[in-house]
């Protein structure tokens, strides 16, 4: 596609980046068929090709309107279009760069501005989010049924083995997981402990920045990335093997640190190293699966129950690990049901379920129907946002897959 970028962005680092992205797009439209919002709304401007066209206009100097902003806001950032694109168009970067420009020119109502600020503040501060969840859980019994489902039931973290192995990996604790699913990181620590690996966390590390990025606050996201790099760097220098993510949404953000900070002379090299060291937990376990398979087989622990896997968009499309978690779980003896349209988003999309509730609820209903269709006894996922959102719409237990694996390993110890 030919481009003629406007002076305000031409020759800037962002301008050079978006120009290369736009030039890769040949406008073939292969991406539209896979886009959840295009499938729901049937409007070209609610699909990736139309959104790319809208963004190109803005970057070439056209004045964006409230409709431009609406079509961009309706994007889930699921990145299914990137998986489908034969030309390798990095759509999410185009959106990351263009949306703040549109927001700045079009503006938002007072309510929407405050809503986005509050979301950013609450979701990226574990203590604050934890407090809000606790308050919700306290009044949960008094809430009407529809509202009750939105508040997760209280649950506890199991024990974490002390760090005692020579092999060490770093864990990002995350912002919301400790409140919504407190046993996930503990389960990861227990499973890796069985494999002779200690998981350690850097106290100063915090939000990966993905929430700020989704809410068009790139500066804040980059500040969070730099803070994490500073917190992790002593461990990296000390030879930590891997930086492990138990939330696939965070993994996509940390995978991008190298590219996002490429122009920062103080952080570029460190960010690239951190991104290279980062792995989603499923990749870590896949590399170490042999002793686990042997253990589960020797204890004749085949799992037995049928489970449905909801593979998050961040895992499939963001990290390009489509099918890998399914293959790992099958190797480990889980019986996976077929899930139609498994590449489609559940509607959670970071803060999308709050900011675009109508579209999000339609996607959630479709996803739950697809997950239920194989008659599973539980739903597994790899991203706490999807986990909490799916749980609002089903009575089946929804959990991180590592908790299901940990439970099976526990049973082998009892046999
Ligand atoms: S983003 Fe990719 S698939 Fe979509 S129109 Fe452009 S080149 Fe085609
Ligand atoms: S990121 Fe998802 S919702 Fe947005 S344009 Fe691409 S496929 Fe559609």
DSSP 127-195: HHHHHHHHHHHHHGGGS-HHHHTTSPPP-----------SEEEEE---SSHHHH-THHHHHHHHHHHHT
Token pair recorded at residue 76: 């889930």
Query: Which residue is associated with the tokens 């099976």?
Result: 408
pLDDT at 214: 87
Residue 204: helix, strand or coil by DSSP?
Answer: coil
Band (87; pLDDT cuts 50, 70, 90): very high
300 or 51: which leads in pLDDT: 51
Residue 18 burial class via C-beta count within 10 angstroms: exposed 0-12, middle 13-18, buried 19 and up: buried
Probe ligand 2: pick from 25, 30, 32, 37, max atoms within 8 Å of CB?
37
pLDDT at 413 over 70: no
Could you read off the pLDDT of 369-395 as tens digits, one per residue? Answer: 999 999 999 999 999 999 999 999 999
pLDDT at 44 over 70: yes
Task: Judge if pTM exceeds 0.75.
Answer: yes
Band (175; pLDDT cuts 50, 70, 90): confident
pLDDT at 307: 95
Probe ligand 1: pick from 1, 3, 25, 80, max atoms within 8 Å of CB?
25
- Of 168, 174, 173, 156, which Cα lies nearest the Cα of 193? 168
- Of 266, 189, 254, which Cα lies nearest the Cα of 228? 254
Greatest CA separation for the chain: 70
Mean of pLDDT values over 276-303: 84
Query: Rounded distance, CA 257 to CA 38, Å?
Result: 30
Give the number of residues written for the chain.
Answer: 415
139 or 388: which leads in pLDDT: 388
Strand segments (E) across 5-125: none
- Average confidence score pLDDT of the chain: 93
**Ligand 1 center to 56 CA (angstroms):** 13
The set of protein residues with a Cβ atom below 6 angstroms from ligand 2 is: 35-37, 48, 51, 75-81, 91
pLDDT at 367 over 90: yes
Residue 380: helix, strand or coil by DSSP?
Answer: strand
Query: Rounded distance, CA 240 to CA 168, Å?
Result: 6
Q: State which ligand 2 atom lies nearest to the alpha carbon of 38.
A: 8
Residues 6+ apart with CB under 8 A from 64: 54, 57, 58, 101, 102, 105, 106
The set of protein residues with a Cβ atom below 6 angstroms from ligand 1 is: 25-31, 48-49, 52, 81, 84-85, 87, 89
pLDDT at 304: 67
pLDDT at 302: 58
Q: Where are the domains of the chain?
A: 13-107
Probe ligand 2: pick from 42, 47, 54, 359, max atoms within 8 Å of CB?
47
Which architecture does CATH list for 13-107? Orthogonal Bundle (1.10)
pLDDT at 414 over 90: no
Query: Rounded distance, CA 293 to CA 306, Å?
Result: 18
Query: Rounded distance, CA 138 to CA 63, Å?
Result: 48
Residue 262 burial class via C-beta count within 10 angstroms: exposed 0-12, middle 13-18, buried 19 and up: middle
Ligand 2 atom 7 nearest Cα = 35
Mean of pLDDT values over 198-224: 92
pLDDT at 243: 98
Could you read off the pLDDT of 233-255 as tens digits, one per residue? Answer: 999 999 999 999 999 999 999 99
pLDDT at 301 over 60: no
pLDDT at 130 over 90: no
Mean of pLDDT values over 29-41: 97
pLDDT at 415 over 60: no
CA distances, 275 to each of 204, 242, 260 (Å):
18, 10, 10
CA distances, 370 to each of 308, 310, 343, 365, 404 (Å):
9, 10, 11, 9, 21
pLDDT at 305 over 80: no
- Of 75, 90, 104, 103, which Cα lies nearest the Cα of 19? 90
């Amino acid at each position: 596609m030919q481009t003629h970028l406007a002076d305000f962005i031409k020759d800037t680092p962002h301008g050079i980046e978006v120009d290369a992205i736009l030039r890769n797009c040949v406008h073939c439209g292969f991406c539209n068929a896979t886009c959840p919002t295009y499938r729901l709304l049937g409007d070209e401007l609610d699909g990736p090709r139309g959104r790319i066209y809208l963004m190109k206009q803005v970057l070439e100097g056209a004045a964006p309107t409230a409709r431009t902003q609406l079509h961009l806001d309706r994007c889930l950032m699921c990145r299914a279009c990137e998986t489908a694109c034969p030309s390798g168009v990095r759509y999410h970067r185009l959106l990351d760069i263009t949306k703040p420009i549109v927001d700045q020119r079009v503006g938002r109502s007072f309510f929407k501005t405050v809503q986005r600020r509050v979301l950013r503040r609450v979701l990226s501060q574990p203590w604050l989010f934890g407090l809000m969840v606790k308050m919700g859980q306290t009044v949960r019994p008094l809430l009407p049924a529809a509202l009750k489902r939105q508040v997760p039931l209280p649950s506890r973290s199991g024990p974490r083995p002390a760090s005692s192995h020579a092999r060490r990996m770093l864990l990002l604790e995350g912002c919301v997981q400790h409140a919504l699913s407190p046993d996930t990181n503990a389960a990861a620590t227990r499973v890796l402990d069985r494999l002779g690996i200690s998981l350690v966390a850097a106290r100063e590390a915090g939000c990966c920045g993905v929430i700020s990025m989704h809410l068009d606050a790139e500066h804040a996201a980059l500040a969070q990335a730099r803070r994490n790099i500073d917190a992790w760097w002593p461990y990296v220098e000390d030879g930590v093997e891997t930086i492990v993510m138990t939330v696939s949404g965070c993994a996509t953000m940390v995978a991008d640190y190298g590219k996002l900070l490429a122009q920062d002379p103080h952080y570029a090299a460190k960010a690239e190293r951190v991104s290279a060291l980062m792995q989603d937990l499923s990749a870590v376990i896949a590399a170490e699966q042999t002793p686990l398979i042997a253990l589960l087989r020797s204890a004749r622990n085949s799992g037995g129950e049928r489970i449905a896997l909801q593979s998050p968009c961040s895992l499939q499309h963001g990290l390009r690990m489509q099918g890998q978690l399914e293959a790992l779980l099958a190797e480990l003896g889980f019986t996976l049901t077929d899930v139609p349209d498994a590449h489609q988003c559940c509607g959670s999309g970071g803060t999308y379920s709050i900011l675009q509730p109508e579209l999000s609820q339609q996607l959630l209903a479709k996803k739950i129907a697809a997950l239920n269709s194989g008659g599973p006894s539980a739903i597994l996922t790899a991203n706490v946002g999807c986990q909490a959102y799916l749980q609002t719409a089903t009575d089946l237990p929804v959990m991180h897959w590592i908790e299901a694996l940990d439970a099976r390993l526990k049973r082998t110890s009892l046999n």
